[in-house]
Structure 1
Amino acid sequence: MKVIYADYWGSYISVVAASIHLGILEEYDEEKIRSIKGFGENNFSKLGELIFFAEDQKRRRIYILGVKKSGRIAERALNGISKIFGLGKNDVDFVDLYIYENVFTKMGGFLSQKLCFKSAGEKLVLIGIKKNFNKLKNLVHKMKEKPLR
């Protein structure tokens, strides 16, 4: 079983979601988020690349993925690939986190990734993550509670 957390860049919300999933992050903590491996690291060249994050307690492999605004397209493609290679529809859980983007995460990601204003951009991203942290945490906990198939 694999879980793929996807967001615009694959380096902000998806990294936080994967960290919540693994128990690394239980509550919003700016310093802890900044120190998480992969936070703010991916850039335009990594879009579309599945990046292994870690394995959880149930031996599910957790991945992050940057998809820009194409989460639904990426999900359909992954489901098609799974079908072609006989992996089964239930072998991959794709979690599109685009709905957790907001004006702060969008502007912060743009400043950080496109204009190379990393410090200012990440401050905005963190404000955006803080605004949606509890909703994101609830989604991730529902994902973790799903029975293995």
Structure 2
Amino acid sequence: MKIIYYCYGGTHSSVLAAAIHTGQLVSKGVPSKKQINDLALYDKISKKELGRPFFYGADEFGNLVYVLGLGSKRELIKEFLLDYLKLFNIKTEEIILVAALPYVSSFTKIGGFLSRRLGLVSLGRPIVTYTLQKLYPEYDNLVSQVKAKLRNID
């Protein structure tokens, strides 16, 4: 299976969820700011890279985990992606798309905008990191639900 965590920019909430899923961040407990800031791809994907999936790692079951930024046209791009895969006879039932957006707060959005859009990383990144720490239990729960679904598929 391929699991794709997606969000607006593919650089904050989707990266956090992918890191939990692949075991790079511990489940149950809140990681430090440094642990979050040191994640691969965290606060690094540019606007030009929206729509490009990035491989993040494999989970304990051998499933491949990706992150993806879909911008403001999430539903349109999601449909395009699935149709595109079908066009090349790639089985879409082997792909799980997971929205990492449900827990994003206004402060997360503001921090992401400051960091990625305006280039004010020293101002925006701490805001995003702080809010993701506060929301960590929700992301941990999201990943737990995805893994439970994977166990039921096998």
**Do they superpose with TM above 0.5?**
yes
Does the alignment pair 1:107 with 2:117? no
Q: Match of 1:5, as an amino acid?
A: Y
Shift, 1:131, TM fit: 2.8
**Runs of at least 5 residues in structure 1 that lack an aligned partner in the other structure:** none
Give the whole-Å Cα distance in 2 for the aligned partners of 1:57 and 1:89.
Answer: 22
Q: Match of 1:28, as an amino acid?
A: V
Secondary structure (helix, strand or coil) at the match of 2:5 reads strand
Give the whole-Å Cα distance in 1 for the aligned partners of 2:85 and 2:37.
Answer: 34
Map 1:1-149 → 2, pairs under 5 A:
1-26=1-26, 27-29=29-31, 30-146=33-149, 147=151, 148=153
Q: Given that residues 104 and 127 in structure 1 are in contact (C-alpha distance below 8 angstroms), is that contact kept between their aligned partners in structure 2?
A: no
Q: Match of 1:25, as an amino acid?
A: L
Give the whole-Å Cα distance in 2 for the aligned partners of 1:75 and 1:93.
Answer: 11
Q: Match of 1:20, as an amino acid?
A: I
Shift, 1:136, TM fit: 1.2
TM norm structure 2: 0.89
Shift, 1:13, TM fit: 0.7
**Runs of at least 5 residues in structure 2 that lack an aligned partner in the other structure:** none
Give the whole-Å Cα distance in 2 for the aligned partners of 1:86 and 1:14.
Answer: 27
Runs of 4+ in 1 over 3 A off after TM superposition: none
Could you report, residue by residue, the CA deviation over 1:28-86 in whole angstroms, capped at 9, with x for unpaired residues? 22210111111111011111111111121211111101112333223222221232222
Give the whole-Å Cα distance in 2 for the aligned partners of 1:82 and 1:46.
Answer: 19
Secondary structure (helix, strand or coil) at the match of 1:33 reads helix
Identical aligned residues as a percent: 30
Q: Given that residues 111 and 121 in structure 1 are in contact (C-alpha distance below 8 angstroms), is that contact kept between their aligned partners in structure 2?
A: yes
Secondary structure (helix, strand or coil) at the match of 1:100 reads coil
Secondary structure (helix, strand or coil) at the match of 2:135 reads helix
User: How many residues of Structure 1 are paired with residues of Structure 2 in the alignment?
Assistant: 149
Shift, 1:104, TM fit: 1.2
Q: Match of 2:83, as an amino acid?
A: G
Q: Match of 2:99, as an amino acid?
A: D
Structure 1 vs Structure 2 CA RMSD:
1.5
Q: Judging changes above 3 Å, is the alpha-carbon distance between structure 1 residues 105 and 6 closer, same or farther for their aligned structure 2 residues?
A: same
